Structure 1
Amino acid sequence: METSFALTGKGYVIVAADTTAARSIVKMKVDEDKIKEISPHLLMAYSGEPGDTVQFAEFVERNIRLYQIRNLYPLRPSAAASWIRRSLADSLRSRSPYSVNLLVGGYDTATHEPKLYWIDYLGTQVDVPFGAHGYGSYFALSLLDRYHDPEASLEEGLATLKRCVDEVAKRLVVSPGRYKVKVVDKDGVREVEI
């Protein structure tokens, strides 16, 4: 019952993910952080099989950090998303594929634009203005389609995200209790409350 959302606005990307770690009908944790900061201006929300998600997120974080150490500059969001997509596609053709769905959001410091990429476990990548994964996406995508504004301020973007969280809580049978929300903009990554 994992849920993650992300949306872009005027100079920022907001990424939110539930904090519940569950297996079958058992809730094991309620404070799991499913958003990985993979560079100073890049975030990745992940969902899927518990072991795969953590292992793949750490693999991505370490390899993007290695690229930065070797080349003395970080990957831009589009390049990082392409590398992540290729890694998922390669794993799909191996004996042990990762079952991971991702929302990769970042702020491109060269073009001064926010970027968001929707990537699924099959290695499909799409540049989107907003996205969602999990059961919450059934309710949130229509709201995001209706209320998303690419020129919205951060407060307006957070209000749209809050509207999605409230709708999932109202409509989903087993809705997550809490969400962790992070914003990436020209100043880097920070956690915010909704």
Structure 2
Amino acid sequence: METSFAITGKGYVLVAADTTAARSIVKMKTDEDKIKILSPHLLMAYSGEPGDTIQFSEYVERNIRLYQIRNTLTLGPSAAASWIRRSLADSIRSRRPYAVNLLVGGYDTSSHTPELYWIDYLGTLTKIPFGAHGYGSYFALSLLDRYHDPEASLEEGIATLKRCLDEVAKRLVVSPGKYLVKVVDKDGVREIEI
């Protein structure tokens, strides 16, 4: 029942993910952070099998940090997304593939543009203006298709995101109660309240 959304706007990427950790019909906790900060201008929302998501997100976080230490520069959003895609594609050809779906968002400091990438558990990668994973995507993608504006201010992006969250709460039988929202822009990554 996991749900994650991401929206690009004028100079930012807005990412939201539910905070529920559940297994079958049991809710384990309601304060799980499913958005990993990979670098000062890069973040990743993940969903999928509980063990796989934690292991893979930590693996990605540490390898991107290792690259930064070795090369004294950070990976841009497109380079990081390509490396993550390759890691997932390699894992699917192994004996223990990761069942993880990702939304990778970042602010490219060299071109001063926000970038968002959709990656699924098969290693499929595409650059998108908005995206969603999980059961909430069935309801939110049509809203995002209608209301997304690439030139929207942060306040307008938050309003569009609220529409998605309200629709999921209204339509989904077992909707998540709480969401964590983070934004990345020229100033870096920060958490915001909805």
When normalised by structure 2's length, the TM-score is 1.00
Whole-angstrom distance in 1 between the partners of 2:58 and 2:170: 33
Task: State the AA in 2 paired with 1:61.
Answer: E
Residue number in structure 1 paired with 2:98: 98
Residue number in structure 1 paired with 2:29: 29
Task: State the AA in 2 paired with 1:105.
Answer: G
Is 1:172 the counterpart of 2:165? The answer is no
Residue number in structure 1 paired with 2:82: 82
Residue number in structure 1 paired with 2:40: 40
Whole-angstrom distance in 2 between the partners of 1:162 and 1:174: 18
Task: Give the drift of 1:104.
Answer: 0.1
Task: Give the drift of 1:164.
Answer: 0.1
Residue number in structure 1 paired with 2:110: 110
Task: Give the drift of 1:92.
Answer: 0.2
Whole-angstrom distance in 2 between the partners of 1:98 and 1:142: 28
Q: How does 1:13-28 map to 2 (within 5 A)?
A: 13-28=13-28
Task: State the AA in 1 paired with 2:164.
Answer: C
Residue number in structure 1 paired with 2:190: 190
Task: State the AA in 2 paired with 1:120.
Answer: D
Whole-angstrom distance in 2 between the partners of 1:161 and 1:82: 26
Per-residue CA deviation, residues 32-76 of structure 1 (Å, 9 max, x unaligned), is 000000010000000000000000000000000000000101000
Residue number in structure 2 paired with 1:6: 6
Whole-angstrom distance in 2 between the partners of 1:5 and 1:187: 21
Whole-angstrom distance in 2 between the partners of 1:178 and 1:81: 27
Per-residue CA deviation, residues 6-49 of structure 1 (Å, 9 max, x unaligned), is 01000000000000000000000000000000010000000000
- What SS class does the counterpart of residue 57 from structure 1 fall into? helix
Q: Which ranges of structure 1 fall in alignment gaps of 5 or more residues?
A: none
Whole-angstrom distance in 2 between the partners of 1:162 and 1:42: 23
RMSD: 0.2
- What SS class does the counterpart of residue 73 from structure 2 fall into? coil
Whole-angstrom distance in 1 between the partners of 2:16 and 2:126: 18
When normalised by structure 1's length, the TM-score is 1.00
Residue number in structure 1 paired with 2:70: 70
Name the % identity. 86
Is 1:140 the counterpart of 2:140? The answer is yes
Q: Which ranges of structure 2 fall in alignment gaps of 5 or more residues?
A: none
Whole-angstrom distance in 2 between the partners of 1:125 and 1:166: 28
Residue number in structure 1 paired with 2:57: 57
Task: State the AA in 2 paired with 1:18.
Answer: D
Residue number in structure 2 paired with 1:126: 126
Task: Give the drift of 1:191.
Answer: 0.2
Task: Give the drift of 1:110.
Answer: 0.2
After TM superposition, where is structure 1 displaced by more than 6 Å over at least 4 residues in a row?
none
- What SS class does the counterpart of residue 69 from structure 1 fall into? helix
